[in-house]
Amino acid sequence: MDLNTALVQFTKPFNMARFRPVFYALSEPKNVAFDTKIIKTNMRVLGIRIPILRKIAATLAIQAERVVAGLVVDCYELATLKGLMITKIKDKEKVLAALRDFVPTIENWATCDLMCGDLKVIGQNKDFFLPFIRELLGAKGEFEIRTGIVLLMKFYLGNDDLQRTLDLLASVNSDYYYVNMALGWLICESYLRDKKATLDFLANARISPQAINLGVRKIRESFRVSEGDKKEILKYKRG
């Protein structure tokens, strides 16, 4: 189906029975194998591209709460769309309630990261959402913990937040691959903002060696780090 035709249909009051066939008609089979391999999801994949999901979310934004409440997730793209729709809700209390319901269902990095990056309401209400992020860091699920880390990286690495964020993460020790990847990513972003605080963190944190080594690697790969600093950071690698 042509995207513009579909978007016209999506301006109507949301109804899952009417929405699903139009959404599924946007499937792009040529993308399925690649998306499945990269995302490593156990859900069905339709191959709908992220820019299209964003356009759909923008079209549905005016009825975001209704969509989040009524959307039945039966494929990766619908899961990701639901995450994007949560970011369109304006009331912080309703966003928190939706996140509590949705985050435990996340099972891949793409759905996690796309939603987290668009949750601007968290950046505008950092103190309000911080207790929830603390809960996520202490959760058992791989993508619950990753969600907490990515939210910290996106919204809590400013001058007033960075040290508190590093303190929160100092004992997040996990064997989960996608948790450690997120920690490595955050370590690099933190280093680019405050080298000294990050080096102190690397020297004393009880996080896994894998996370530290991933952070060291990302720092060394950055074009914003001098050759001298790239050599220095190797001292913090763990065996």
**pLDDT, tens only, 104-120:** 999 999 999 999 999 99
Query: What confidence score (pLDDT) does residue 171 get?
Result: 87
N-term to C-term CA, the chain: 53
When computed from its CA atoms, the radius of gyration of the chain, rounded to whole angstroms, is: 19
Tell me which residue has tokens 């996140």.
Answer: 99
What's the half-sphere exposure (Cβ side, CA atoms, 13 Å) at 72?
A: 9
What are 18-48's pLDDT values in tens digits? 999 999 999 999 999 999 999 999 999 999 9
Q: Which two tokens stand for residue 25?
A: 């008609």
Is residue 159 classed as helix, strand or coil in its secondary structure?
Answer: coil
> What's the average model confidence in pLDDT over 55-67?
98
Residue ranges of domains in the chain: 1-126, 157-239
Per-residue pLDDT band at 14 (split at 50, 70, 90): very high
